[in-house]
Chain A
Amino acid sequence: MTDDDRTVKDGGALAGDPGSPAGQAGETGPAAPNAGASAAPSGEAGRRSGRRDRRTLGDRLMMLILGLLAGGGLLWGYTQYLSSHQATLLLENGYQRAFQELLTHVETTSALTGKALVAVGPRQTASLYGDIWRSAYAAQLAAAQLPLDMRVQGRLSEFLNQLGDYASVLYRRAAGGSPVTAKDWQQMQRLYGQARSLTAELASLNTAMMGGRFRWLDLAGRYAWGGTRPVGMGAAPEPGPSTPAARMVSDGFSRLNKQLEGFPKPAYDGPFSDTVLNRKPRGLTGRDVSSKEALQAAQAFTKGVLPSTARLTVTGQGNGVIPVYFVTAVGAFSTAGRSATAPSAAPAAPGAPATAPTQGRGPAAPTGRSPAIANRAAPATDAVPAPGAPGTAPAPGMAAPNTAAPVTAPTTDVASNIFVSRRGGKVVSMVSPRPVAAARISLADAENRAAGFVRSHGYPNMVPTYTLRRGNTAIVTFADQDRGVIVYPDQVKAQVALDNGDILGLDAATYWMNHHVRSAAALVPRISQDEARHSLNPQLQAGPGKLALIPTDDGREVLCWEFRGRLGGTEYLVYINADNGDEEKILEVVRSRDGTMTM
């Protein structure tokens, strides 16, 4: 808009008599009553730039709106400040609480460890080690909530975890009546000294914090933007603590870490001990195979499992607990299920609400509907008969919808992975992510298929132990059977697609970690089944027992009599040590329509 072509319409537009100085507009012009405060500065600006003041009503309206916006912005900013202040306080209080609890529980743990060194009687010993276990665990929970450098966090957690774990081992031993050995006592004495110096260090940090200038958020502030942190790991990010007080506390924790790193770790057998963590695969023996041999092993293994068109290549190596070759198989699957079983196979969960068992898991099509509809739900069923599934049966009643709405078979290239161990060249695991269509075979069928698969692929004596439905797949767990004894440590799992019974995955890592030739003595019970039955709770309605080798937390294997029984409507598996009649383990059997599992 230029000055000249301006049309004068409203009364307000009369502002600024062309001849008069703009400065007078506020006093004399007709616009004055309407202009309000906002007009005056604009008028001055106008005079400075040598232009006439011509504020219209609309302009004033705009100024008003902008003023309201500015006011609203300020108000909004203030509420934002308030809520962020509130959140900051909550967070800070949480950190404070975690640190204070850490200090308290570490103090308690340290004192209890001292007392445990004094105690001799089994009752007092057991009770004290039980308390150490509990308070060390509480300290570890508190430590895990602090915004510390991952290295400090890790070592602190490790110290507390192993102390508690060790105490739990001694607690169980003492509860069983065996005294604490001299070696354990000496190790505990060393741990006591370490716990005391940890307490002292934390207490001095606490004193430093009480100066008042320290806020945990200043230590944690470097996490605030998130973006600078590397994915999935917790090394110290580059920008450090933001205030001198925070730097001091951070240095204190670094000192603490240095001290902790100097502590030798206790040698014992528990789930968190280094001896158990650093186990090597027992089952893999022989020489290291070349990548070519690994590829051949993978090809032989996946014959009939993956589409015959799949291209297998060795794509890498892994140096984990089990060193492996990484074989990738890229091949096209027909995504709609090929009906290898009769289409009338019962849905896995008859009587279940139409879609409940599969909500949000795999691609759930209408299970529980009539088979004919279930078949029509996948119109592409046999448009491309996939290789490896000979029994492709055209489902009745498909022609009409197919001709009405022709849909080409949706095939996608799927990259499956096969892991072949470097030592011995065994297929340790397999994962195939092909989409699975609506379930058409029952869990029992899936179990049979999985059993057939593992038995023909190097695990001839496997017996299924439990089967779980996961989405439109079933995961079947097997245990080895050796001379009539179920060997639970030698465990293999197979994943079966419920649309057509294909094998999608295999996990034999546990098997190869544990498998070895057991001596005959390890599989012969010292007490009979009837003797073992005397160890059962008389309230338990137990069925016949069978022999099983079960793994313990500390990596040993124990021969047990396994009894399946009921108590108050709940089913349990009770394991009685076949050497001495002790109760070794009790598992609850949970049956749902997704299958059976134990907890």
Chain B
Amino acid sequence: MSATGQPDRWQPRLIGRALAFLQSVATPYRRIIVIFLLASLTLMVFFPFLEQRYTQAQGPRPTLYWGMSGPNVWLVQQRLSWWGYYNGPLDGWYGPATWAAVRRFQWLNGLAVDGVVGPETYAALGLGWVTPAAQAAAASGYVSNDVWLLAELIMGEAAGEPFIGKVAVAAVVLNRTRNPRFPNTIAGVIFEPGAFESASNGQMWALPPTPDAIRAAELALAGWDPTYGALYFWNPTKPVSGWIWTRPINMQVGAHVFAR
């Protein structure tokens, strides 16, 4: 505007005014106020989305198509790559390679070949339209809320750990249920105040459990315990209170130390 002298022909009026105003608030004091106001506006707009992130795990899965991105795309890519339909990177972006893989999958599985991941395709991929574990529980008739809870905890505490580290974390929960120093149920152990960081800060609900986490939870529930009786685990590279180091250490699995 100021550079050409005749900007308003091509610049929308309000934006021009806004730019002009921002330029006119020259003093740092006023700029700070403006920035503060804009920041609070941003916060107001995005706060509900931040909250939604934690509840997303319960809702239906969004229909996926070309151009989308996110954890659901990642899950679909993972499935497709396991079964050999997809060779691209697991980047969570629904690009041409993912699109082609989805179409191939649909064609070979007798689904409508549209390159869109809707309820049918999700189901054929083994990804429930509702949450996978909830659907599995509904489908199989026995109570698997334990699997579900353990898998969520694994996602919060050991999502980046090797598979054996995931089993180990779930096994610690089960060992605690059998120990007099802890509550006797899985939910009791997981939600004991301050017992698990990811339960305290909500991280365990941030992502739906991956098939790996569910498989690890099932293995631990079936009796596998790679820790051989551990009750505590922590990451030795992070600051922890001194008391915990007095516990007899069983072993280290991945990034975690396991102790009795």
- Tell me, yes or no, whether B193 is within 8 Å of chain A by CB: yes
Interface 9-mer from A22-30, A106-114, A319-327, A450-458: A319-327
Which of A7, A361, A369 lies in contact with B136, CB distance below 8 A? A361
User: A369–B234 contact, CB under 8 A?
Assistant: no
User: B126–A355 contact, CB under 8 A?
Assistant: yes
* A437→B13 CA distance, assembly (Å): 59
User: A433–B164 contact, CB under 8 A?
Assistant: yes
User: B181–A157 contact, CB under 8 A?
Assistant: yes
* A320→B157 CA distance, assembly (Å): 21
- Tell me, yes or no, whether A199 is within 8 Å of chain B by CB: no
**Interface size bucket, A side?**
35 or more
A235 to chain B: closest CB distance in Å?
A: 4
- Tell me, yes or no, whether A399 is within 8 Å of chain B by CB: no
What are the interface flags for B71-89 relative to A under an 8 Å C-beta threshold, 1 for contact and 0 otherwise? Answer: 0000000010111110100
Smallest CB gap from B221: residue in A = A470
User: A235–B241 contact, CB under 8 A?
Assistant: yes
Do A359 and B136 contact each other (CB < 8 Å), given the known contacts A59-B24, A234-B194? Answer: yes
Do A471 and B211 contact each other (CB < 8 Å), given the known contacts A157-B183, A232-B197, A379-B84? Answer: yes
A50 to chain B: closest CB distance in Å?
A: 13
Do A373 and B17 contact each other (CB < 8 Å), given the known contacts A59-B24, A363-B126, A417-B226? Answer: no
User: A233–B219 contact, CB under 8 A?
Assistant: no
User: A360–B37 contact, CB under 8 A?
Assistant: no
User: A361–B126 contact, CB under 8 A?
Assistant: yes
Which of B1, B214, B252 lies in contact with A471, CB distance below 8 A? B214
* A473→B218 CA distance, assembly (Å): 10
- Tell me, yes or no, whether A177 is within 8 Å of chain B by CB: no
CB-CB contacts below 8 Å: B172-223 with A: 172, 178-184, 188, 192-198, 200-203, 211-212, 214-215, 218-219, 222-223
Residues of B within 8 A of A158 (CB): 180-181
User: A69–B225 contact, CB under 8 A?
Assistant: no
Which of B17, B183, B228 lies in contact with A62, CB distance below 8 A? B17
* A154→B24 CA distance, assembly (Å): 63
- Please provide the 5 A-B residue pairs with the shortest distance between their CB atoms, ordered closest to farther: A360-B132, A320-B228, A364-B126, A226-B201, A58-B17
Other A-B pairs, 18, CB within 8 Å; known A380-B84, A415-B162? A59-B20, A61-B14, A69-B37, A70-B37, A144-B183, A229-B194, A230-B235, A231-B234, A237-B194, A358-B126, A360-B132, A361-B136, A363-B126, A363-B211, A365-B83, A365-B109, A407-B84, A433-B215
Some 11 contacts from A to B, beta carbons below 8 A apart, are: A145-B192, A157-B183, A161-B184, A230-B197, A320-B228, A336-B82, A364-B126, A373-B108, A407-B85, A431-B164, A431-B219
Residues of A within 8 A of B (CB): 1-2, 5, 7, 49, 56, 58-59, 61-62, 66, 69-70, 72-73, 76, 140-141, 144-148, 150-151, 153-155, 157-158, 161-162, 165, 220, 223, 225-227, 229-238, 271-272, 277, 316-324, 326, 335-336, 353-366, 369, 373, 376-380, 401, 405, 407-410, 415, 417, 419, 429, 431, 433, 435, 437-438, 468, 470-471, 473, 475, 493, 495, 505, 507, 509-510, 590, 592-594, 597
